Structure 1
Amino acid sequence: MKTLLPAIFLLYALGPAAAADGQRDFDWEIGSWDTQLMRLREPLSGKTDWIAYTGTSVVKPVMDKRANLVELDVRGPAGRITGVSLRLYEPASGEWTLNFANLANGRMTEPMRGAFKDGVGTFFGDDMVDGRKVRVRFLVIPVSSTQWRFEQAYSIDGGQAWETNWVAIDTRRAGG
Structure 2
Amino acid sequence: MSKRKKTWKARLLSAAIVLAAAGPLAAVEPDGQHDFDFHFGTWKTHVSRLMHPLTGSTTWTAYDGESVVRKVWNGKASIFELEVEGPAGHIEGVGLRLYDPKSHQWNLNWTNSSVGMLDGAMIGEFKGGRGDFYGNDTLDGRSILVRNSFSDITPNSSRFEQAFSDDGGKTWETNWVMTFTR
Deviation at 1:19, TM superposition (A): 5.1
CA contact 2:129–2:153 (8 Å) conserved in 1: no
- Which residue type is aligned with residue 76 of structure 1? G
- The aligned residue for residue 77 of structure 1 is 87
Q: What are the within-5 Å matches in structure 2 for residues 69-148 of structure 1?
A: 69-148=79-158
1:38 aligns with 2:43: no
CA contact 2:38–2:155 (8 Å) conserved in 1: no
Unaligned runs of 5+ in 2: 1-27
- Which residue type is aligned with residue 47 of structure 1? S
- Which residue type is aligned with residue 35 of structure 1? T
1:159 aligns with 2:169: yes
- Which residue type is aligned with residue 43 of structure 1? P
Which runs of 4 or more aligned residues in structure 1 lie more than 3 Å from their structure 2 counterparts after TM superposition?
none
CA contact 2:71–2:79 (8 Å) conserved in 1: yes
- The aligned residue for residue 10 of structure 1 is none
Deviation at 1:29, TM superposition (A): 0.8
- Which residue type is aligned with residue 82 of structure 1? E
Paired positions, count? 155
- Post-superposition Cα deviations, 1:46-87, rounded to whole Å, max 9, x if no partner, equal 010001000011000011211000000011001011110000
Deviation at 1:151, TM superposition (A): 0.1
Q: How many percent of aligned residue pairs carry the same amino acid?
A: 49
TM-score by length of 1: 0.85
